[in-house]
Structures are given as C-alpha cells and as structure tokens.
Amino acid sequence: MKGLDEVVPAGEPWMGVVRAGQSLRIVDLEGNQAVDTLFYNAADTAEHYSAQNTIQAQGRIYLTTGTVLLSNRGNALLRIEEDTCGRHDTLGGACSAESNTVRYALEKRSMHSCRDSFLLALAKQGALTKRDLPSNINFFMNVPVTPTGELRFADGISAAGRHVQLRALIDTLVLISNCPQLNNPCNAYNPTPIRVMTWDNA
C-alpha cells in the first residue's frame, strides 16, 4: 500500500488503516490542536487501544517517544518513534455533548464534539458502534495531574509544525477526531487543521 498525505480540517473525523511496518505522522499544523485518537487491530476490531494497559506497562501517564501503545488484550499496536511536542494525554477522554454540558454550560449541549465525530466515522465504517469507543488518546493535549491528583485542562504546549510519529506493529485501524472544541484553553479556543501522513519504511 502506498502512503498518503492528507489535511484534516478542525472538527472533522479521519479513519484509515496503517499497515504493519508503516509509519503514521500527525502534524499539529497551527499549534495546540487536540487530536483525539483511537487504534484498533484492523483484523479484529474487538481489540483496541487500552489506556490502562499502556499506562501500567510504561509506569507513567503521559505518552511520548518510546511509548508502546498496548491493546485491551495486552498486545503491542504501535510504538511512538518521534515526538516533537513531548507530551500527549490519555486520561482526559473525548469531549462530548454531556461533558460540554457538565464542564461549561447547559447551552453548550448542541455544540459539535469529538464523540459526535467518532460516531459519525463509525457509522460510515459500518462494523463498529459506540460500544467500540474506549478511552482515547489526546495527541498534543496538555492535561497535567496536580500534586493532589486533579486533572487540569491546561494551555497547550504544542506549537505550529510539531508532530508525533508512530510505527504500526500490526495492521492498525486509526480513528481520529480532530477536536472541534471551542470552550477549552488547550487549543486557545481555536480548533485548527492537522496533517496526516503514512508511508512504507524500507
């Protein structure tokens, strides 16, 4: 399979397969964009990214170069091979109509959310449903944990042109919601496009 190179506008989902041995690069084109992402075993989508197994295995909560993304069955899906941002969250989850209501205000309920984008992509894909949405990764998102154990949705630490690059260890189905969030300082209240690239390694 040849690689691809696509720009995903803010608020849009993206779905594709990265073959074993291929690299996947996600570029934060304008900086501080949150890229909500899930990974599935392309051959058996009941196997998917597990935040719990990944955090437990590496003994730390942030994802960066060297992190091996593990599945709910404990298998390695991908490895982060480059990271020019330095911190990616996997605790904060995806924004949704419900979380927008709880975190911000009741009238935010109708605003577009990552959960909507995930569900839209899954509906087009056909085989997966909302039951197949586990806790996701938020690439480029800064969610520090305070000394008292609270989660903070903090200002982003990414910048224009920073990227994260992963090597697929098995054929992997990638589901991205390029976050449309307008209420969260992590993206300076300004969702922006990302670039998604894949290629074969020699």
Residue ranges that bind Zn ion, judged by CB under 5 A: 95, 114, 179, 181
Distance CA 178, CA 14 (A): 8
Which C-beta is closer to Zn ion: that of 71 or that of 181?
Answer: 181
Residues 6+ apart with CB under 8 A from 54: 63, 67, 68, 69, 70, 90
**Residue reference for tokens 């449309």:** 180
Smaller CB separation from Zn ion, 10 or 68? 10
- CB-nearer residue toward Zn ion: 114 or 121: 114
Which DSSP symbol is given to 127?
Answer: S
Least distance (Å) between residue 106 CB and Zn ion: 18
What number of other Cβ atoms are within 10 A of residue 64's Cβ?
15
Report the nearest approach of Zn ion to the CB of residue 35 (Å). Answer: 9
- Shortest gap between Cβ of 17 and Zn ion (angstroms)? 23
**Least distance (Å) from Zn ion to the CB of residue 94?**
6
121 in Cβ contact with 175 (< 8 Å): yes
Q: Which is nearer to Zn ion, 63 or 141 (CB)?
A: 141
